[in-house]
Structure 1
């Protein structure tokens, strides 16, 4: 299964993806990690553009073809990136579940963005104004939405697991 996790910076994508990967024994692919590796290699500079996503798609497909569950984590701001992640699942012959994380409380969201620490050396984190001004297209198809406002990471993961369990029943897996 391919679980595609997207959402604005500061909504809890990395925290939730790590918890979910540990719980499911899944591979966690983080586009931020890929992009920063490209920058450190000297092959790119920020903003990296589509290269980090392209590497992520290739790695996800490789792991899926090996029978592994993959959690692909990125802002995933554009319909074209969302379509590309879904195409990975199609090519690998697995179900692809799209998840958008939100934080409906603007004060909490801002606090998360402005107070988080860098866990990837030299990764530039966006400030609150950049988050507000960043390009982010509305999702135009059915997907799972998890609002992390007011919830701890474990509560958000439990909510996502409930959605995934329902989808697995629907998909017959």
Structure 2
């Protein structure tokens, strides 16, 4: 039975770092990053994106699950609609959907991370103001929650692995 690990959280909290580490640690698992999909969609198609990146990743994940591979989805996943989409993956091969929210509870640390990424010269990262204006709804179900504010990457990853084992 494959697992679907769905990483959620605002930009700059550390979810991509943790998701990529998990992808390296779990064999036979595909990794999909919504930001990457949307970045290339925007380069080719100038219209505003709503849910296209999520849908592309969903169907790619579904195909991998049908092949018996686990999947890791790295996305903001800010609203109920997107969360319901990922939960539909449980219908494929009795997949266990594991929702993981990554947060950074220290506002200054979070802002510093976002601003450092933005200043790196890449225009694909949001500004701090973009992050503050993002519509991000609170979760209404049991999930794994990882706070990266006061933990190293290594410690955060260890906490994640321990929580996945208990889930």
TM-score, normalised with respect to structure 1: 0.88
1:8-87 aligned at under 5 Å gives the runs 8-25=10-27, 26-40=29-43, 42-45=44-47, 47-87=48-88
Unaligned runs of 5+ in 2: none
Q: How far 1:91 moved relative to its partner?
A: 3.2
Unaligned runs of 5+ in 1: 168-173
Structure 2: distance between partners of 1:155 and 1:48: 35
The question of whether the paired residues in 2 share the 8 Å contact of 1:5 and 1:98 is answered with yes
The question of whether the paired residues in 1 share the 8 Å contact of 2:68 and 2:93 is answered with no
Instruction: Compute the RMSD of aligned alpha carbons.
Output: 1.8
TM-score, normalised with respect to structure 2: 0.91
Structure 2: distance between partners of 1:128 and 1:117: 8
1:1-173 aligned at under 5 Å gives the runs 1-25=3-27, 26-40=29-43, 42-45=44-47, 47-116=48-117, 124-167=124-167
| SS of alignment partner, residue 132 of structure 1 | helix
Structure 2: distance between partners of 1:44 and 1:69: 32
4+ residue stretches of structure 1 with deviation over 4 A?
none
Determine the structure 2 residue equivalent to 1:170.
none
- Give the length in aligned residue pairs: 164
64-73 or 90-99: bigger deviation: 90-99
| SS of alignment partner, residue 71 of structure 1 | strand
